């Protein structure tokens, strides 16, 4: 699909400098732009590229001062970064605007399907499932029995949703993610007998889950992701965990069973949290930290393994780095002390 500079400027409420009729059909970085592409310049460090870019259209800030001619058509806006993000969102909506049910998809006769859905090849929708309006179910997605999926939710290729799961509106779940698999629970007193996991998973509205995540169903009750939660790739959430509203978890986080995480928390990559803890609202945890006890004070920043207050950790780490020299000094002092005793 092609758009002219005039059309784009109208969408962005921008001013055109150059050929208003030039058209573009793809997006590019300014340093890699080629004919027929549109790019943007927001960071002053990249200003040099505007004079040589082959992009047909470049979105720039209104106050950008040029020191040489440019071949690209410019669209001047209040904020180039904001405007380009708006274009990216529109482009993404057009690209992902799939509708229709493939002849190779299987939908149970007892399932309830909303309007304008997309179901790709080899997608499976189980018995008594309820699918909202404008839901997109990509190829090879499995939606189990009694699953409920809200309006405008997207399940990318290969997502597996086990039975009884409830997913809200405007959610995005990326490829390879499994939701509702059994929690990891066995009875060591009875030859490691498996304990049945008969709960479910509830995902509220506006949640995004990255690729290859695993979210276990509860033993009893529900594993819950509250509204606005955002997950990176490769995250494991164990049975009966609850993640509070608008919390962000980066890649490779692991949260063990029955831990409750508050609102607006931000966890960097490779954070591990043991089970049955409480993490207060607005907690920040730095990368590769191990959380072994509850964090009850709101707004704390913790790091390390086992983790504690980040400022104290940094100070302690200075001493840890100097530990070898400190031990050498102590050994020297002990030897001197022993010599004095001999004298």
* pLDDT at res. 320: 84
> Does the active-site annotation cover 276?
no
Confirm whether 168 is domain-assigned: yes
pTM of the predicted structure, to 2 decimals:
0.85
* pLDDT at res. 343: 61
| Claim to verify: residue 45 and residue 167 sit in the same structural domain | no
Splitting the chain (343 residues) into consecutive groups of 10 residues, what average pLDDT does each group show?
92 96 94 95 95 96 95 96 91 85 98 97 98 98 98 98 98 98 90 92 98 97 98 98 98 98 98 98 98 97 94 88 88 82 67
Q: Which of 116, 239, 276, 319 is catalytic?
A: 239
Those residues with Cβ within 8 angstroms of residue 129's Cβ, 6 or more apart along the chain or in another chain: 108, 111, 112, 143, 144, 145, 146, 147, 148, 149
| Claim to verify: residue 106 and residue 52 sit in the same structural domain | no
Confirm whether 316 is domain-assigned: no
Confirm whether 238 is domain-assigned: yes
Number of domains in the chain: 2
Q: Range of 188's domain?
A: 100-309
Quick one: which of 302, 233, 236, 296 has its CA closest to 266?
302
Confirm whether 319 is domain-assigned: no
Confirm whether 340 is domain-assigned: no
**Which two three-digit tokens encode residue 46?**
């990249």
């Amino acid at each position: 699909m092609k758009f002219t500079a005039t059309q784009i400027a109208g969408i962005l409420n921008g001013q055109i400098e150059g050929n208003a009729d030039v058209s573009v059909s793809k997006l590019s970085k300014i340093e890699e732009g080629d004919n027929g592409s549109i790019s943007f310049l927001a960071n002053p460090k990249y200003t040099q590229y505007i004079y040589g870019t082959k992009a047909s259209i470049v979105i720039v800030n209104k106050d950008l001062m040029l020191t040489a001619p440019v071949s690209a058509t410019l669209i001047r806006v209040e904020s180039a970064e904001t405007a380009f993000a708006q274009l990216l969102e529109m482009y993404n909506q057009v690209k992902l605007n799939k509708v229709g049910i493939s002849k190779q998809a299987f939908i149970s006769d007892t399932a309830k399907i909303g309007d304008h859905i997309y179901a790709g090849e080899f997608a499976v929708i189980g018995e008594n499932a309820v699918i909202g309006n404008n839901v997109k179910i990509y190829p090879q997605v499995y939606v189990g029995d009694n699953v409920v999926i809200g309006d405008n939710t997207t399940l990318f290729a290969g997502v597996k949703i086990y039975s009884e799961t409830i997913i809200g509106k405007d959610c995005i779940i990326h490829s390879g993610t499994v939701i509702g698999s059994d929690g990891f629970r066995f009875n060591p007193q009875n030859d490691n007998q498996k304990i049945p996991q008969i709960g479910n998973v509830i995902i509220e509205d506006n949640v995004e889950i990255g690729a290859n995540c695993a979210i276990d169903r509860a033993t009893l009750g529900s594993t819950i992701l509250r509204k606005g939660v955002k997950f990176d790739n490769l995250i494991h959430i164990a049975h009966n965990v609850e993640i509070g509203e608008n919390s962000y978890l980066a890649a490779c986080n692991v949260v063990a069973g029955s831990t409750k995480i508050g609102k607006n928390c931000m966890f960097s990559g490779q954070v591990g949290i043991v089970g049955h803890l409480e993490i207060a609202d607005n907690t920040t945890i730095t990368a590769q930290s191990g959380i072994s006890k509850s964090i009850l004070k709101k707004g704390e920043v913790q790091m390390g393994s086992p983790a504690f207050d980040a400022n104290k950790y940094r100070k302690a780490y200075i001493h840890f780095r100097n530990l070898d020299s400190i031990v050498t000094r102590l050994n020297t002092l002990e030897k001197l002390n022993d010599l004095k005793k001999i004298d």
